[in-house]
Each structure stands twice: as structure tokens, then as C-alpha cells.
């Protein structure tokens, strides 16, 4: 029983760090990033002082400090949210105006709204509290880890066991916390981490078939869901939610599929959802029996949610009804809602003013994956100034993305001063042409310190010191934010989501499916432009990519011609743009044919 039909996904490192404290009592679920234990410790100190809770620092000299910091912060959040829930219930039971304000935030479909509306006029506080007791549910305090950000750690020069790796310690921090919620596993598979999860009893069902803690898997296609779902099931671990995210039309890191588009992906999930649940349950049951664990009498709940590019109530409603989704992720638009996230005014203004041409897929992430960005982000401006001054790279103070082993046994970050200086020295010895040198130099210096940058807005929003991190902000908005043009209140954003208001003034915003399609065409055009002599394997990959896009376009043609889930205006505009993208698709295929034509040999 969820009060809202949307959730707020994790955004960056710090943007949703305290979103549950702001919104969980209103029934809104959100996710906290567990990447940065330094930030969690600083936020714990901040909120402990604000709410007069006991605080004792957890220093890096302490045993298992990363996990301990995360556990302590999550427990602090849980304590604050529990107190706010109690106060909130009492407030709306006693004050009719506050009760009405809460009712107006809820979607028309929720049972609680109907019940409270029915009893609100002249009802006693006791009756309102009784209604809340039966139908109210706070938002879930979920957490998120990037599975592959699992750096090994050392103590006194000695390599620590793998359970002290970053992702392992983050997971342990959540597992040992008081939260009764989900951990979202994103950014690909990590077999060692998946095996580590088996150690924690809270992820197995109790005698009632319930879980104290649940697993949510973020995926970009159905095949990935099957493969990873089976891996977990064989370990006796249940995926309680598959969270489908658009490969490109999303915030943060962009994990492009092989041309598989969101509409057909969700169609496949929707059609096969129950069969997938039963197939996984059969494997899961055998594993639980082998481990002598409690076996549920039926397959546990398996939620299906989606996120990436959703921007209108029409889209929200269509996804919910057409594919039977349990919740829709609304991320980037909430970057304009300071009541919901921790963000500084300067960054809000930058995002609000950004147009379609300002949002782009950048190369700044040291993870080695494309990263959604906006032109003018202050961390990127800082980086360019350092390059001009002959000081490329950043001081590596957080050390969360140490993934490169080119210059020694211990990995370093490609955004670090150490790495970029070493690469430039290599480049100087290559004796390249001026044009080639400039191109390679740009590739080296493109990487930016997002470990620090993605937390700075959070610190600034709370008036906290940023001397260690630097003043520059990294931000990772999805391209959908180009169509939102002003800071908004929480009430305004919820009214927009539920179709009671409208925050989009852009006259030509494309439907989310068509937008994603155009981004996939942009993506492959960039790949082709940067490839001089692609081999047969690369060409085969491009052919498959284009074939999958064509299937997706056929699916959308049927959707917008025959489906009544869209307004006439949306259908007409989408069909027109679909034809434009078909022409682009044909032109790209012609370009690919040129790579395959035999080169004429002079007689």
C-alpha cells in the first residue's frame, strides 16, 4: 500500500542524501546514495545537532569506519523520520488546514485520500488518527549503491579482505542499519558482492514470508533482469523490484542498450512479468530448501517500476496503465524543488535556464561511462580554468573511483592530477601532429572529479564548509529537465505529476519515447563519426543496434496510430517526429553501407 504512484530515485551523490527526512512523512519514497561515507558522516553531524540527537564522530582510525558511518547515518535518518511521522499525524489530526494541505498532495487514486476527504469535515482527532492508522504509510527510506564502484582498501599498506571493499562496506552499512526498506543495486553486475549478500539474514523471508530488507535491481532491459534474477535466486535471494531505467534518457550515468528502446522493453516485462516471477520462484525455492531457510507459501511480491524521461501526467498515467507499473521514477524535475532535495540556488538557476542545446552526454565521468551533464556546471568551469593554467586534473581526496592500473599496481582515478600528468607526459613523447595531439589531450583532460562535485551542492545548500571539496558543483540532470524552466514548490511539482497543474511551458517537448529514440540515433552517429576504420565485429554490433531501433520504431508506429492512451495532439506530434527519425535511421544505414563497400583497386 503506497500513498503515491511515483518515487524519487537517487540523484548524484548528495542531492537525495536527506530527501527521506524532507518527504518520507508525506508518503513519498526516495533513495539515499551510499557512495560517500565522508558526506554521510558530515550530514549525520548536521542533523544530529539540528534535532538534538547524540553524536560521536566515527573517524578513519576506527575499525570498519565506512560501514559504521553509513549505519549510523541511516539510523539517524530513521529516528528523525519516525519522530516526524508521529508529529505529522498529530498535526493533521488537530489542524484542519494542515489536513487539507496533505489531502491535496495525494493522488486521486489513493484510498487514504478518499477516506480522509470523507471524514475531514467535523471529524474528531481520534477518527482521523484511526483513519491514518489503517491507511497511512510513510515513504520508504531506500538506499542505492553502484555495484561496480567496489574499490579495494588498504590498512598500514596491507590489502584488506574483499568485505572491506567500498561497495561491500556500503552494503554492510545498510544491512546492519535499523531500516526496513530496499537497497537498489545499480551499474552492472558484481558477482563477489552478490555472493556477499548471502551472509545477511534480513534478506531472507521470516516465518510470515516477509523481508526486513529487500533487494531492488536497476536494469536497462529484460534479458539483464532474467540473468541477474536467476543469479540471485540460485543464492536464495529474492529480487523484490525490477527498476527499469532508460539507457540514455535519464540522469546520471547513461548505460546505452544495444538499441533496445524503453517502450518495447516495458512491453516485454509486462507480458512476461508473472512467468518471470514463477520461474525465479522455482529456482529460489530450491535454494532456500538447500539452505534450510523458511520457504514462503507463494512467490513473494515482485514490483515493476520504471524511470527515465517521464515529464507529464499523460506519460505517467500511460506507463502505469499500459504496463501495469507499480511506481514511476521522477528524478531530474525534483532538482528544481529545494523542498525535496539538497541543492544550491546557483545550480537551480543554471538548470532552470538550460535549453535543449545545453543538456548533453558528456565524457567527464572517471567511471568510463557517458554522463548526463549541463553546459556551464561550475565544476566543469573550474576544470577548464585549471587546464588553461597548465594544471590539469584534480586533487584526489575522496578516492571512490580508483579504476585505472596503467601506472602501477594500485589503481588511480582518471580525473586525478596524478593520472592526467602521467598521460600528458606519455602524449608528449608520441610526436603526434598538432591536430592528433589536441584530440588526445582533450580525451585525457575531459575527466572531472565528480566524487567531490556531486556532493558540493548538498553542502552549499546547508551552509557547510566546502574547502576540502572545492566550490565547483557537478550535476547530472536528465535531458528531460530542459523542458522545465523554473524553480518549483513541492506542491507545484506534485500537482504537475498528478495532472492538476502544468510546469512545462516548452511548446515542442517530444514524447518521452520519441525523445529517447532520437538520443539513440545521436549516440550511434557520434560513434560512427569517431570511428575511422571499424572492424567486422564493430560493424556487426552497429547492424544489430540499427535493427533493434527499427523494431522499436515499428512498435511506436502501432502505439501512436492505434492506441487511445494518448491525446490526439500527442499522437500527431509523435507520428511526425517518428517519421523524421525514420529518415535519420535510413541515412545512418546508408553510411554504414559505405564502410562495407569494397575499396576499388587501381588497375
Q: State whether 524 and 472 are in the same domain.
A: no
In the prediction, which pLDDT does 602 show? 53
Q: Give, in degrees to the nearest 5, the angle at Cα 175 between 172 and 178.
A: 130
Q: State whether 531 and 492 are in the same domain.
A: no
Average pLDDT over residues 556-574: 92
206 within a domain of the structure (yes/no): no
pLDDT > 90: percent of the chain = 89
Rounded distance between C-alpha atoms, residue 485 and residue 351, angstroms: 8
560 within a domain of the structure (yes/no): yes
Q: Quick check: 535 pLDDT over 90?
A: no
Rounded distance between C-alpha atoms, residue 113 and residue 93, angstroms: 14
User: pLDDT of 264-282, one tens digit each?
Assistant: 999 999 999 999 999 999 9
Task: Select the more confidently predicted residue: 505 or 323.
Answer: 323
In the prediction, which pLDDT does 601 show? 47
Q: Quick check: 599 pLDDT over 60?
A: no
Q: State whether 427 and 523 are in the same domain.
A: no
Q: State whether 411 and 521 are in the same domain.
A: no
3-state helix, strand, coil split of the chain in percent (to 5) is 50, 10, 40
If DSSP codes are grouped into helix, strand and coil, which group holds residue 295?
Answer: coil
Beta bridge partners of 145: 185
Q: State whether 369 and 400 are in the same domain.
A: yes
User: pLDDT of 242-270, one tens digit each?
Assistant: 999 999 999 999 999 999 999 999 999 99
Q: State whether 416 and 550 are in the same domain.
A: no
Average pLDDT over residues 5-16: 97
Residue finishing a domain among 467, 496, 525 = 496
292 within a domain of the structure (yes/no): no
467 within a domain of the structure (yes/no): yes
Average pLDDT over residues 29-43: 97
Q: State whether 525 and 592 are in the same domain.
A: yes
Q: State whether 353 and 480 are in the same domain.
A: yes
Look up residue 24 and give its three cell numbers: 518520507
* HEC letters along 407-445: CCCCCECCCEHHHHHHHHHHHHCCCCCHHHHHHHHHHHH
Structural domain harbouring 549: 510-596
Q: Quick check: 25 pLDDT over 70?
A: yes
Q: State whether 473 and 517 are in the same domain.
A: no
Name the band, by pLDDT with cuts 50, 70 and 90, for residue 120: confident
Burial 145-164 (b: 16+ CB within 10 A, else e): bbbbbbbebeeeeeeeeeeb
Rounded distance between C-alpha atoms, residue 509 and residue 89, angstroms: 40
CA 227 vs CA 241, 280, 300, 465: distances in Å: 15, 10, 19, 44
477 within a domain of the structure (yes/no): yes
pLDDT > 70: percent of the chain = 99
CA 577 vs CA 157, 358, 583: distances in Å: 58, 21, 10
Q: State whether 537 and 587 are in the same domain.
A: yes
User: pLDDT of 201-232, one tens digit each?
Assistant: 999 999 888 999 999 999 999 999 999 999 99
Q: Quick check: 26 pLDDT over 70?
A: yes
User: pLDDT of 50-97, one tens digit each?
Assistant: 999 999 999 999 999 999 999 999 999 999 999 999 999 999 999 999
* HEC letters along 358-373: HEEEECCCCCCCCEEE
Average pLDDT over residues 540-545: 94
Rounded distance between C-alpha atoms, residue 43 and residue 354, angstroms: 29
Beta bridge partners of 142: 31
Residue finishing a domain among 496, 522, 548 = 496
236 within a domain of the structure (yes/no): no
159 within a domain of the structure (yes/no): no
In the prediction, which pLDDT does 598 show? 59
Q: State whether 404 and 485 are in the same domain.
A: yes
The number of distinct structural domains making up the chain is: 2
If DSSP codes are grouped into helix, strand and coil, which group holds residue 490?
Answer: helix
153 within a domain of the structure (yes/no): no
Looking at every residue in the chain, the average pLDDT score rounds to 94
Q: State whether 430 and 539 are in the same domain.
A: no
Supply φ then ψ for residue 16, to 5 degrees: -110, 20
Residue finishing a domain among 438, 464, 496 = 496
Amino acid at each position: 500500500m503506497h500513498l503515491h504512484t511515483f518515487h524519487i530515485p537517487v540523484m548524484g551523490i548528495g542531492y537525495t542524501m536527506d530527501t527521506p527526512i524532507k518527504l518520507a512523512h508525506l508518503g513519498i519514497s526516495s533513495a539515499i546514495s551510499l557512495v560517500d561515507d565522508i558526506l554521510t558522516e558530515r550530514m549525520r553531524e548536521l542533523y544530529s545537532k539540528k534535532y538534538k540527537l547524540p553524536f560521536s564522530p566515527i573517524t578513519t582510525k576506527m575499525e570498519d569506519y565506512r560501514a559504521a558511518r553509513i549505519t549510523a547515518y541511516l539510523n539517524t535518518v530513521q529516528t528523525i523520520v519516525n519522530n516526524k511521522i508521529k508529529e505529522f499525524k498529530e498535526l493533521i489530526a488537530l489542524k484542519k488546514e494542515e489536513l487539507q494541505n496533505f489531502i491535496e498532495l495525494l493522488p486521486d487514486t489513493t484510498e487514504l485520500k478518499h477516506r480522509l476527504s470523507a471524514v475531514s469535515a467535523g471529524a474528531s482527532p481520534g477518527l482521523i488518527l484511526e483513519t491514518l492508522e489503517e491507511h497511512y504509510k510513510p515513504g520508504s527510506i531506500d538506499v542505492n549503491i553502484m555495484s561496480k564502484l567496489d574499490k579495494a582498501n588498504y590498512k598500514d599498506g596491507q590489502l584488506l579482505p574483499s568485505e572491506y571493499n567500498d561497495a561491500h562496506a556500503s552494503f554492510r552499512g545498510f544491512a546492519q542499519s535499523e531500516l526496513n526498506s530496499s537497497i537498489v543495486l545499480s551499474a552492472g553486475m558484481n558477482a563477489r558482492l552478490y555472493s556477499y549478500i548471502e551472509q545477511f539474514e534480513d534478506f531472507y523471508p521470516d516465518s510470515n514470508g516477509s523481508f526486513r530488507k529487500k533487494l531492488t535491481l536497476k536494469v536497462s532491459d529484460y534479458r539483464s533482469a532474467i540473468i541477474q534474477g536467476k543469479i540471485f535466486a540460485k543464492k536464495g535471494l529474492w529480487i523484490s523490484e525490477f527498476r527499469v531505467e532508460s539507457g540514455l534518457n535519464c540522469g546520471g550515468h547513461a548505460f546505452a542498450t544495444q538499441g533496445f528502446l524503453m517502450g518495447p522493453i516495458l512491453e516485454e516485462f509486462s507480458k512476461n512479468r508473472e512467468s518471470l516471477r514463477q520461474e525465479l520462484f522455482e529456482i529460489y525455492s530450491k535454494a532456500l530448501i538447500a539452505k534450510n531457510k523458511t520457504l514462503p507459501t507463494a512467490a513473494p511480491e515482485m514490483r515493476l517500476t520504471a524511470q527515465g524521461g517521464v515529464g507529464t501526467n499523460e506519460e505517467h498515467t500511460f506507463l502505469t496503465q499500459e504496463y501495469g507499473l507499480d511506481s514511476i521514477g521522477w528524478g531530474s524535475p525534483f532538482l528544481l524543488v529545494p523542498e525535496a532535495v539538497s541543492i544550491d540556488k546557483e545550480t537551480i538557476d543554471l538548470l532552470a535556464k538550460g535549453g535543449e542545446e545545453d543538456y548533453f552526454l558528456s565524457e567527464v565521468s572517471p567511471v568510463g561511462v557517458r554522463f548526463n551533464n549541463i553546459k556551464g556546471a561550475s565544476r566543469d568551469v573550474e576544470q577548464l580554468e585549471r587546464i588553461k593554467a597548465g594544471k590539469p586534473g584534480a586533487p584526489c581526496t575522496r578516492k571512490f573511483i580508483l579504476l585505472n592500473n596503467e601506472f602501477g599496481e594500485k589503481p588511480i582515478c582518471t580525473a586525478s592530477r596524478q593520472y592526467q600528468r602521467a598521460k600528458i607526459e606519455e602524449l608528449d613523447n608520441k610526436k603526434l601532429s598538432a591536430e592528433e595531439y589536441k584530440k588526445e589531450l582533450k580525451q585525457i583532460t575531459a575527466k572531472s572529479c565528480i566524487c567531490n562535485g556531486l556532493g558540493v551542492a548538498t553542502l552549499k545548500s546547508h551552509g557547510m564548509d566546502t574547502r576540502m571539496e572545492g566550490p565547483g558543483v557537478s550535476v547530472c540532470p536528465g535531458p528531460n529537465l530542459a523542458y522545465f524552466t523554473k524553480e518549483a514548490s513541492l506542491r507545484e511539482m506534485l500537482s504537475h505529476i498528478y495532472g492538476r497543474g502544468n510546469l512545462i511551458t516548452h511548446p515542442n517537448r517530444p514524447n518521452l519515447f520519441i525523445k529517447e529514440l532520437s538520443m539513440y540515433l545521436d549516440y550511434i552517429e557520434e560513434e560512427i563519426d569517431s570511428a575511422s576504420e571499424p572492424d567486422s565485429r564493430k560493424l556487426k554490433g552497429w547492424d544489430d543496434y540499427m535493427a533493434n531501433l527499427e523494431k522499436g520504431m515499428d512498435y511506436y508506429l502501432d502505439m501512436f496510430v492505434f492506441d487511445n492512451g494518448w491525446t490526439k495532439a500527442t499522437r500527431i506530434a509523435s507520428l511526425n517526429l517518428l517519421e523524421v527519425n525514420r529518415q535519420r535511421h535510413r541515412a545512418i544505414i546508408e553510411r554504414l553501407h559505405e564502410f562495407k563497400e569494397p575499396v576499388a583497386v587501381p588497375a
